[in-house]
């Protein structure tokens, strides 16, 4: 698989990564541990070298899973993780990016991932009570100590990114980006392009919706994150099939699946954007990786943009209270 550069500090990863959250957090049912390990290792065999986790996924269990799965590939893969929340009694309780909390989180992540240095460390969510300059300064010290290699932010606004980058270069911003989540194109993508920061696109398949395998009749298991998302109400799903029709039309023309078209569209936007679709199924992993082989002509991208621009996406991506934690 081709590689892409994230930022100007030397970080290079596979054009498509693997988001590992759903293997133990948010998306039910979870696979058996050994099945998840096998899938992660199959991803390496198929050219993926970029894996995304976080201490709050589980909490903690996802980092342990990723660390165990990738142990045979130390030094040849890039593991990204995140800090930024209080965790109490196995639950995520509020943001916390105080310097001492960051240091504690990093020590825990190093042990669970079973590595000497974290390849890419993100602030998971902006903490309004801690100046971003203090956060960046703390991560800078951790990089100087050799405990972290590259610095990232997640779901941060343009000014926050600029302020952090002025203290220590930010290699990657991780934010949601897909054919149905494009608000970052107005301010954030131009800002990170100016600063030379890469974009790691989470939920590039719209939390599964853009694969075409979810409709208004789909029932999610109890505990599945999508049960609380406004964009996944039955009414919203029914209305949003209009976008799926556009994607499916292009899938037929390109002899591809809707998921591959959705991922290839993200890849085609900028050479420094890396999508990290998640899956728990081997056949879907192979399908997603296949998107890296699909190329669009400029006129094809214009047709997709023209067709999709007339479609109003129904429902917010998060409930209002959760959206406020993003810092956007």
CATH number, residue 172: 3.20.20.100
Per-residue tens of pLDDT for the chain, all 328 residues: 999 999 999 999 999 999 999 999 988 889 999 999 999 999 999 999 999 999 999 999 999 999 999 999 999 999 999 999 999 999 999 999 999 999 999 999 999 999 999 999 999 999 999 999 999 999 999 999 999 999 999 999 999 999 999 999 999 999 999 999 999 999 999 999 999 999 999 999 999 999 999 999 999 999 899 999 999 999 999 999 999 999 999 999 999 999 999 999 999 999 999 999 999 999 999 999 999 999 999 999 999 999 998 999 999 998 887 777 676 5
User: By CB neighbour count within 10 A (0-12 exposed, 13-18 middle, 19+ buried), where does 303 fall?
Assistant: middle
Angle between helices 61-70 and 99-113 (to 10 degrees): 40
What range defines the domain where residue 271 resides? Answer: 3-209+266-294
285's CB contacts (< 8 A; 6+ apart) are: 18, 39, 42, 43, 46, 279
User: By CB neighbour count within 10 A (0-12 exposed, 13-18 middle, 19+ buried), where does 260 fall?
Assistant: buried
Q: Which helix (H) or strand (E) holds 34?
A: helix 33-45
Q: Which helix (H) or strand (E) holds 78?
A: strand 78-83
The answer to the question of residue 47 being in a domain is: yes
The answer to the question of residue 81 being in a domain is: yes
Q: What is the number of domains present in the chain?
A: 1
Tell me whether residue 318 is one of the annotated catalytic residues: no
The answer to the question of residue 245 being in a domain is: no
The answer to the question of residue 235 being in a domain is: no
Name 88's bridge partners. 91
The answer to the question of residue 217 being in a domain is: no
**Catalytic residue chosen out of the listed positions 57, 122, 150, 177:** 57
Write down the pTM of the prediction: 0.97
CB crowding 31-42: b at 16 or more within 10 Å, else e: beeeebbebbee
């Amino acid at each position: 698989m081709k590689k892409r550069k994230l930022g100007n500090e030397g970080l290079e990863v596979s054009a498509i990564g693997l988001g590992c959250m759903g293997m133990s957090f948010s998306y039910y049912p979870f696979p058996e541990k050994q099945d998840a390990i096998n899938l992660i290792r199959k991803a390496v065999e198929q050219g993926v070298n970029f894996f995304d986790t976080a201490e709050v996924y589980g909490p903690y269990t996802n980092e342990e899973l990723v660390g165990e799965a990738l142990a045979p590939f130390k030094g040849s893969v890039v593991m990204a993780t995140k800090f930024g929340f209080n965790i109490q009694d196995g639950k995520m309780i509020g943001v916390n990016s105080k310097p001492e909390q960051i240091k504690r989180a990093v020590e825990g992540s190093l042990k669970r991932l079973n590595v000497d240095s974290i390849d890419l460390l993100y602030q998971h969510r902006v903490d309004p009570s801690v100046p971003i300059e203090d956060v960046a300064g703390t991560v800078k010290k951790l990089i100087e100590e050799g405990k972290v290699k590259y610095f990232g932010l997640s779901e941060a606004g343009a000014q926050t990114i600029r302020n952090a980058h002025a203290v220590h270069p930010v290699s990657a911003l991780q934010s949601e980006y897909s054919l149905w989540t494009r608000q970052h194109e107005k301010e954030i993508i131009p800002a990170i392009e100016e600063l030379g920061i890469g974009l790691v696109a989470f939920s590039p398949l719209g939390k599964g919706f853009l694969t075409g395998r979810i409709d208004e009749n789909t029932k999610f298991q109890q505990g599945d994150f999508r049960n609380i998302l406004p964009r996944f109400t039955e009414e919203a799903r029914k209305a949003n099939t209009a976008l799926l029709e556009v994607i499916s039309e292009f899938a037929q023309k390109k002899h591809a699946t809707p998921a591959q078209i959705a991922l290839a569209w993200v890849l085609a936007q900028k050479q420094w954007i890396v999508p990290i679709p998640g899956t728990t199924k081997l056949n879907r992993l192979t399908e997603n990786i296949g998107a890296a082989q699909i190329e669009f002509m400029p006129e094809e991208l214009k047709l997709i943009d023209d067709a999709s621009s007339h479609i109003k996406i129904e429902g917010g991506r998060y409930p209002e209270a959760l959206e406020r934690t993003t810092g956007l």
